Structure 1
Amino acid sequence: MMRSLFSGVSGLRNHQTRMDVIGNNIANVNTVGFKGSRVQFQDVLSQTITGAASAQGNRGGTNPMQVGLGMGLASIDTIFTDGSFQPTGKGTDLSIQGSGFFILGNGAQKIYTRAGNFDFDTDGNYLVPGTGYKVMGWMADNTGVINTAGDVSNIQIPVGAAMPAKASTEITYANNLSADAAIGTTINTSRDVYDSLGNSHEVKQTFVKTGTNTWLGYVQVPDATGAVTNSLREITFNTDGTLASVTNVAMTADPARRTLNFAAAADFKLDNTSVGTTSSHNFTVFGSDGMPHAFKVTFTNTGASSWTYSITDPSSSSTTPIDSGNLTWVGGAYRFGTLAADPTTKSFVAPDGTTYNLNLTNGTAPTAAAAIFNPVATTGAGTTGPVGFTTTGADPMSIALDMDITQFGGSSTVQATGQNGYAAGTLDTTSIDPSGIIVGKFTNGQSQNLAKVALATFNNPAGLNKVGENLFAESNNSGVAQVGESGTGGRGKFNPGTLEMANVDLANEFSNMIITQRGFQANSKIITVTDEMLQELANLKR
């Protein structure tokens, strides 16, 4: 039988295989994540009629004479180039740009795919809806931390997942306190914080300017059950407007904190130089509402050992004194009057209705250009640490105040810009970011990481076995799956809300189909011509 007949048969058979591969490529042109294949041919065994001979003497060498015995398949290769990416508008869809495969779980078995048409089922499993295979990755803990160094598992986001309440531990204050503000200027801001039960509580912060580059910050919590600890802070600024220090200070007990205690030091003296000499000083005291209030006290010399005093609100545009009167040095003391029997302490009522005291006890004799002691109505440095208070039924609150503020000219824009607590909430919606992290949006307005989709790569992805349903399985020649995060170790990145289409190039497939058809036709001619030759051979006996 003629060798060409079998060569033609092998050509027909293998071109048919190539046509089968082309047909499968074209059939899957709209299959999500499909990777096309190509067929490579090779020749097979050759029959040697005459072997090669080396040169000898005057004769040169001769080449071998061989007759090929047909052709065979060299390989059927899967092409893993990226397909185009089609936006779907569905947040659970994913595509991979670059290398890598999604890992799907089927019990103890792991399989792999490039098709990211995923969704959640009634139990919150992230899976392929058509097959039920579950997408694998890493689950976050209760605080949203994802350990990608651990083993992968099925991703499951329970329906109605709860986020427990988190007690606030910090409030951040930002922006500017005006350097142009008058002594006594009051700025108020507030922020809701949350206790361990998730209940909100308003924390009011009042800033009062008490001197050049110096402010007091006072915290109030209207619904606190008991006193607020560490509620008062002295805030100082550098001459370039930057924050210099924030120091806890402690208030004196009531009613002492409502006393302008001028004679708090032995060096309290008034100027006795000449008539008309004035000395003004600012004081901060605390009213019955617990808030700091600044006052300006001006002493004017009216003669030997005699003065007038005037108390005004430095933050008010009114020039009318809150209180005024006469003051003398008589009987070894400063007195509100002219006689040795007149008092050294006097009360006045401020516009807020609080009664304040002026205390001149233990002053020393006036001298020329004397200084006056200028205290704030506090006992000095207080307990360091955060603001503390208690609320009904919840754990005690401890809140640090982060003062990221400045003092420049212009308006005061200081405000509480943030805090780190929140109420309890339930899962409302989910989304997936480009790194593959599934983020949950909860009804309390918080977002938290819930899980992260893993990617697997192989040393030889072309060695994977196609097992149907857009799936691949490991083979002896694919290598072991190398599991990790997207964007690491040569792995690609995710495109949320898109699907990867088939990487089949129709123009190329149609061209290959024509070539394959012509090859098939040519091989069929081999059989036809060989048959005619055999027919002639059979007719020789006639």
Structure 2
Amino acid sequence: MSISSSMNAGVAGLSANANKLATISDNIANSSTNGYKRAQTEFYAMVIGSSSTKYTAGGVRTTATRVIDERGPLVSTSNATDIAISGRGFLPVTTLSAIEAGGALPFQMTTTGSFSPNAAGYLTTASGHVLMGWAADSTGSIGTQSRDTTSGLTPVRVLTNQVVGSPTTQLTLAANLPATSTEAGATGTVETQVIEYYDNLGKTKTLSVNYIPTVPATGESNTWTVEIYDDAQGGALVGTYDLVFDDSRTGGGRLLSVTTIAGGPYDPATGLMSIDVASGPLTINLGVPGQADGMTQLSDGFAPVAVTRDGAPSGTLTGVEVDASGKLYGTYSNGLTRLLYQIPVVDVPNVNGLQALGSQTYAVSQDSGAFFLWDAGAGPTGEMLGYASEGSAVDVATELTQMIQTQRAYSSNAKVIQTVDEMLQETTNLKR
């Protein structure tokens, strides 16, 4: 009968509003939880067969969902590995327990995380989730990675006791040679320059460069012979080149030509030549003929203007930082910066269809659709931010308002039950 359906509807209303109060209380409790996504309860009316002369109350049912696509405010921090995303997308993570167990690594996602190296060097949150990424090789290359599988992802591990060095592979010579040394009657003084470079083990080695003037019987030769010796090979001669300088009004003092006597050939288009030192090939830039930079011959003084080189001695890791594209770089005490990992951004077609797990993490489900790994800032995804965390997506004022509304709705449903009970009592009293 209709009066009993009213009782059932009232009970359903109590249950529904109790469910809503549960989500509200959870939201308020997590209003300061970084990365928390608001839960909400949606109400659905239940319809039971009725007619124009008789109505049967069907009551109400609820479903609880999590609004994962809502973003909380971004908050600046002082930790370089506090990471958030300024837009759509998730960070790939796994669990520390799975790494320690040595089994298959579960693939999970989060929108933000406060990561720091644990005892083993894994970038881990306080809840035990480890950041994942594509590891760079020794040359700093990520290579081609699968975008729709996790096959290339590995836990990000930063070893603070890691020692690295970088060998010197390129070197630029710039010096002024005295023009008076190539005149007839000059003493033929050899000018010497000692240049440091780094070998494959980060050790400092030296090249000795001798500049030998060609002294003519008459006039000026404007010619020098450059001999390069590698001290790492016991002072072996590794390159000999003849340099001729221009003495014209427009190009006076500039390099005119270079002739290779021994060593790698000189390329006049680039100004480069290559010699073989103990650690491997070393490219030297002498300058392009006719250009003002590089080697010159002016006046009467020898002046090594500048020597630039790549490479670095051995150094220890001092810190890591992530850039907007998701590249994680390590900085070292020797001034070297090296790419360690590329952190992709995970995206799915239906964000709200993800399965919610603990500690603000999520897993792919049938409702969410398959994931894809983007470079941060590419496609629909946002850029990656270091020194940042995403705050809770909860608005406490809104939740308190809904709590008052829920309380009143609960009281109203309780009043319905009380009224039905009184009516049933009246019906019972009719037979007395």
**Normalising to structure 2: TM-score of the pair?**
0.76
Query: Displacement of 1:23 after TM fit?
Result: 0.6
Tell me the secondary structure at the aligned position of residue 86 of structure 1.
strand
Letter in 2 for 1:116: G
Structure 1 residue 169 and structure 2 residue 169: aligned? yes
The partner residue of 1:399 within 280, 283, 286 is 283
Letter in 2 for 1:162: V
Aligned to 1:384: 265
Deviations 1:230-259 (A, max 9, x none): 3443355998779997632368xxxxxxxx
The partner residue of 1:193 within 191, 197, 211 is 197
Provide the C-alpha distance between the structure 1 equivalents of 2:212 and 2:7, rounded to a whole number of angstroms: 102
Tell me if the contact between 2:133 and 2:156 (Cα under 8 Å) persists in the aligned partners: yes
Aligned to 1:10: 12
Query: Displacement of 1:457 after TM fit?
Result: 1.3
Provide the C-alpha distance between the structure 2 equivalents of 1:203 and 1:66, rounded to a whole number of angstroms: 104
Query: Displacement of 1:89 after TM fit?
Result: 0.6
Tell me the secondary structure at the aligned position of residue 100 of structure 1.
coil
| Structure with greater helix percent | 2
Structure 1 residue 454 and structure 2 residue 344: aligned? yes
Provide the C-alpha distance between the structure 2 equivalents of 1:414 and 1:395, rounded to a whole number of angstroms: 25
The partner residue of 2:358 within 449, 453, 468 is 468
In structure 2, do the counterparts of structure 1 residues 406 and 28 end up closer, same or farther at CA, with 3 Å as the change threshold?
Answer: same
Letter in 2 for 1:39: T
Provide the C-alpha distance between the structure 1 equivalents of 2:87 and 2:250, rounded to a whole number of angstroms: 52
Tell me the secondary structure at the aligned position of residue 227 of structure 1.
strand
Query: Displacement of 1:13 after TM fit?
Result: 0.9
Tell me if the contact between 1:41 and 1:75 (Cα under 8 Å) persists in the aligned partners: no
Deviations 1:136-163 (A, max 9, x none): 1111111221135142111223342232
Letter in 1 for 2:395: D
Provide the C-alpha distance between the structure 2 equivalents of 1:426 and 1:140, rounded to a whole number of angstroms: 18
Aligned to 1:230: 240
Aligned to 1:340: none
The partner residue of 2:30 within 14, 28, 31 is 28
In structure 2, do the counterparts of structure 1 residues 530 and 28 end up closer, same or farther at CA, with 3 Å as the change threshold?
Answer: same
Tell me the secondary structure at the aligned position of residue 12 of structure 2.
helix
- Structure 2's unaligned 5+ residue stretches are 99-103, 147-151, 183-188, 267-272
In structure 2, do the counterparts of structure 1 residues 234 and 67 end up closer, same or farther at CA, with 3 Å as the change threshold?
Answer: farther
Tell me if the contact between 1:89 and 1:497 (Cα under 8 Å) persists in the aligned partners: yes
Deviations 1:377-427 (A, max 9, x none): xxxx9973325365xxx346543315278439x999984353223334443
Query: Displacement of 1:489 after TM fit?
Result: 2.9
Tell me if the contact between 1:249 and 1:383 (Cα under 8 Å) persists in the aligned partners: no
Query: Displacement of 1:439 after TM fit?
Result: 1.4
Alignment of 1:317-466 (within 5 A): 384-385=265-266, 386=273, 388=275, 394-395=278-279, 398-401=282-285, 403=287, 406-407=291-292, 415-416=305-306, 418-466=308-356
Query: Displacement of 1:219 after TM fit?
Result: 6.0
Tell me if the contact between 2:228 and 2:240 (Cα under 8 Å) persists in the aligned partners: no
Provide the C-alpha distance between the structure 2 equivalents of 1:147 and 1:8, rounded to a whole number of angstroms: 63
**Normalising to structure 1: TM-score of the pair?**
0.62
Deviations 1:151-185 (A, max 9, x none): 2111223342232542x3322357x989xx98769
Provide the C-alpha distance between the structure 1 equivalents of 2:253 and 2:352, rounded to a whole number of angstroms: 63
In structure 2, do the counterparts of structure 1 residues 141 and 239 end up closer, same or farther at CA, with 3 Å as the change threshold?
Answer: farther
In structure 2, do the counterparts of structure 1 residues 533 and 416 end up closer, same or farther at CA, with 3 Å as the change threshold?
Answer: same
In structure 2, do the counterparts of structure 1 residues 382 and 440 end up closer, same or farther at CA, with 3 Å as the change threshold?
Answer: closer
Query: Displacement of 1:203 after TM fit?
Result: 5.8
Of the two, which has the highest radius of gyration?
1
Tell me if the contact between 1:46 and 1:68 (Cα under 8 Å) persists in the aligned partners: yes
In structure 2, do the counterparts of structure 1 residues 231 and 446 end up closer, same or farther at CA, with 3 Å as the change threshold?
Answer: farther
Letter in 1 for 2:204: N
Letter in 2 for 1:199: T
Aligned to 2:139: 143
In structure 2, do the counterparts of structure 1 residues 189 and 94 end up closer, same or farther at CA, with 3 Å as the change threshold?
Answer: farther
Aligned to 1:99: 88
Provide the C-alpha distance between the structure 2 equivalents of 1:246 and 1:15, rounded to a whole number of angstroms: 90
Tell me if the contact between 1:34 and 1:115 (Cα under 8 Å) persists in the aligned partners: no
Aligned to 1:511: 401
Tell me the secondary structure at the aligned position of residue 287 of structure 2.
strand
In structure 2, do the counterparts of structure 1 residues 183 and 48 end up closer, same or farther at CA, with 3 Å as the change threshold?
Answer: farther
- Structure 1's unaligned 5+ residue stretches are 51-63, 252-380
Tell me the secondary structure at the aligned position of residue 18 of structure 1.
helix
Aligned to 1:525: 415
Q: Greater shift after overlay, 454-463 or 143-152?
A: 143-152
Tell me if the contact between 2:34 and 2:390 (Cα under 8 Å) persists in the aligned partners: yes
| Aligned residues with identical type, % of pairs | 26
Tell me the secondary structure at the aligned position of residue 427 of structure 1.
strand
Aligned to 1:265: none
Tell me the secondary structure at the aligned position of residue 373 of structure 2.
strand
